[in-house]
Amino acid sequence: MAQPRVIVVGNEKGGAGKSTLAIHIVCGLLHAGHRVAILDLDLRQRSMSHFFAHRAAWTAANGVVLPMPSEPDLGDGKVLARAEEAEQIARFDAAYAEATASGAEVILIDTPGGDTPLSRAAHARADQIVTPMNDSFVDFDMLGSVDPVTLELLKPSTYSESVWEARKHRAIKEGRHAAIDWVVVTNRLAVAEARNRKRLEERMLKLAKRVGFRVGPGLRDRVIYRELFPFGLTVADLSNEVRPVAVSLAHVAARQEMRNLMQALGLEDVSLPALDAAA
């Protein structure tokens, strides 16, 4: 059986935009015609699972057909969160095997903020890690420490070390050719703060060389990335038929941002349903 490609969305920093990015990547993949399985390892919040439950309910209620991912059952998240580590890993392995057996081409895994056994297990399976990061030194701190006086980059920090561990784990298990493609994207870019961003970008590029990630195109801070959540929809799903909110040029721009991101992840050009901002 062909092995699915595993994309892990991770960053130990809470609120960086992992779940937002995860649901947008899944919907982009679905619109490109891929069979996708999802695993939501944020056992308490379950944002990605809830999003797709909303999608099933909204499409059914509105007589609309939209592509859906499959989701192997991890059981009651809150119970699993309290279980022994070995049991958590066994449950994850079973869900992963179920996703592979179902013929998924891509398994997309959303992870919680913080370092958990499940998150570590997921990172060790990743072919690609996508890390959203807010446009701020506070978030940068999880990737690399910066000298408080000179703002020079000192060394990789917590999350970079976790990715390094995952890479080591894979290299031992699968040989030296196995590599994890790590892509970091800035999220919630504000139009203002250009000076701070330039400094941050310079440090990101230095750190990218040091710890081995690529810098992908970022997402702007846009209401559209969160306002469709209750409907289980993303900008990728909007069309002249599916438009529960008034569509503006910002929506069209957001779709282009998503396309750029998907391309940077190496996913073929996603053809989205036609969307006319003036309709």
Ligand X SMILES: Nc1ncnc2c1ncn2[C@@H]1O[C@H](COP(=O)(O)OP(=O)(O)OP(=O)(O)O)[C@@H](O)[C@H]1O
Contacting positions for ligand X (CB under 6 A): 14-20, 42, 45, 47, 112-113, 187-188, 219, 221-222, 225-226
Pick from 145, 184, 138: nearest CA to 163:
184
Assess 18 for contact with Mg ion (CB under 5 A).
yes
Under rule CB under 5 A, how many of the chain's residues touch Mg ion? 3
- Give yes or no for a contact between 248 and 277, defined as CB atoms under 8 angstroms apart: yes
Assess 34 for contact with Mg ion (CB under 5 A).
no
Q: Give, for 36, the enclosing helix (H) or strand (E).
A: strand 36-40
Least separation in angstroms between residue 63's CB and ligand X is: 27
Least separation in angstroms between residue 21's CB and ligand X is: 7
Rounded Cα distance between 83 and 9, Å, is: 23
* Position with the least CB separation from Mg ion: 19
Least separation in angstroms between residue 37's CB and Mg ion is: 18
Site string for Mg ion, 41-60 (x = CB under 5 A): ------x-------------
Rounded Cα distance between 231 and 238, Å, is: 11
Residue with Cβ nearer ligand X (168 or 226): 226
| Residues of span 226-265 touching Mg ion by CB under 5 A | none
Assess 116 for contact with Mg ion (CB under 5 A).
no
| Span from 40-48, 166-174, 196-204, 214-222 in contact with Mg ion (CB under 5 A) | 40-48
Residue 21 CB partners (closer than 8 Å, separation 6+): 9, 130, 132, 185, 187, 219
Q: Any alpha helices (H) in 130-223, and if so which ranges? A: 137-140, 158-174, 194-211
Rounded Cα distance between 222 and 249, Å, is: 12
For binding to Mg ion (CB under 5 A), which residues are involved? 18-19, 47
